[in-house]
Amino acid sequence: MSQKQGRPGHFDGPDETTQVVDYTKLFRLDGRRAVVIGAGSGIGRESAMGLAAHGAEVICVDRDLAAAQATAARGRNLTAYGLDILDGAAIDQAVIDLGDLDVLVFTAATNVRKRLLDYSDMEFDRVVSLNLRASFDLVRAFGPGMVARGRGSIIGFSSIRAVAVEPGQGVYAATKAGLVQLLRTAAAELGPSGVRVNSIAPGIVDTPLTAQIQAIPEWAEAYASKSALGRWSRPDELVGAVVYLASDASSFVTGSQLFVDGGWTAIDGRYTPPQ
């Protein structure tokens, strides 16, 4: 977009070549194809449904094909595909099977809640393999197609644990911090080709991954009280961020981490003295 320049360092405004934007369609995804990894449940399921509701053709991908099919059965423009993202050969085949994509969203993650000195090699490898290595494999597999077409949006899910840790979550936190930097680097490397890469950092969300915490009332309440809103979030409350980053509404946003945490990271560590 060109602008008329007046005095040095200042612009007087756009000229007649300025593109007219239809803001009513800013979040629409009509004609775009999206893949959501982890669409069988939780945030992935809601993200798939949200993208489809805004016009995208969405492939619901999950290791549990039946769960992916159940998500696909919930609405229009949804199909299912079974994929274990720990299987590199299967990812390569998925790139062939799924064809050209405009949006890639991946939500799959795992956690072993143990202090570092109690971690086994197998547990460490399990968390790192899914949370970080598989994310790298997905970017490396689907990124070239987007680069070749000169467009695309890649959206990964980090966590508040990328910046705020607690005892027993060290390895999980390390993978999420690593994922943020991995995606920031991808944003820098793929940006010149028109591909945007961002991450979303949820706070405490009611999903199967947090069932262990929710099962203990004291823990559940303690976690809820840490956010400014004083509660857990629902998976559907992450959908707006996904649609935003997938759409033209975020056309100049890349290399960012968008916190959707109810204010957790804004006030983490606060102390409210007794009255």
- Which tens digit of pLDDT belongs to each residue from 192-207? 999 999 999 999 898 8
pLDDT at 270: 63
In 3D space, the residue among 84, 94, 199, 87 whose CA is nearest the CA of residue 142 turns out to be 94
Confidence of residue 275 (pLDDT cuts 50, 70, 90): low
CA distance 78 to 179: 28
Confidence of residue 180 (pLDDT cuts 50, 70, 90): very high
Mean pLDDT score, 148-160: 98
Comparison of pLDDT for 211 and 3, the residue scoring more: 211
CA distance 12 to 266: 37
Residue 274 reports pLDDT greater than 70: no
Tokens of 209: 């991954």
Domain map of the chain by residue range? 28-261
pLDDT at 3: 44
CA distance 210 to 99: 34
Tokens of 31: 């004609």
Residue 5 reports pLDDT greater than 60: no
Comparison of pLDDT for 186 and 220, the residue scoring more: 186
Residue 110 one-letter amino acid: T
Residues 6+ apart with CB under 8 A from 223: 204, 213, 232
- Share of residues in the chain with pLDDT > 90 (%): 80
Say yes or no: domain 28-261 is CATH 2.60.40.10: no
pLDDT at 10: 44
Selected catalytic residue, list 23, 81, 119, 172: 172
Helix intervals (H) in 191-263: 211-214, 217-225, 239-246
Tokens of 45: 């399921």
129, 133, 138, 141 alpha-carbon torsion, rounded to 10°:
-120
- Share of residues in the chain with pLDDT > 70 (%): 91
Comparison of pLDDT for 217 and 96, the residue scoring more: 96
pLDDT at 98: 97
Backbone angles phi, psi at 97, to 5 degrees: -65, -40
Please give the mean pLDDT across all residues of the chain.
91
pLDDT at 225: 86
Confidence of residue 8 (pLDDT cuts 50, 70, 90): very low
Residue 259 reports pLDDT greater than 60: yes
Confidence of residue 9 (pLDDT cuts 50, 70, 90): very low
Mean pLDDT score, 108-130: 96
Annotation marks residue 172 as catalytic = yes
User: In terms of residues, how long is the chain?
Assistant: 275
**DSSP label at 166?**
-
CB atoms within 10 A of CB 75: 13
Comparison of pLDDT for 70 and 216, the residue scoring more: 70
Residue 144 reports pLDDT greater than 60: yes
Q: At what angle do helices 170-190 and 134-149 cross, to 10 degrees?
A: 10
pLDDT at 17: 60
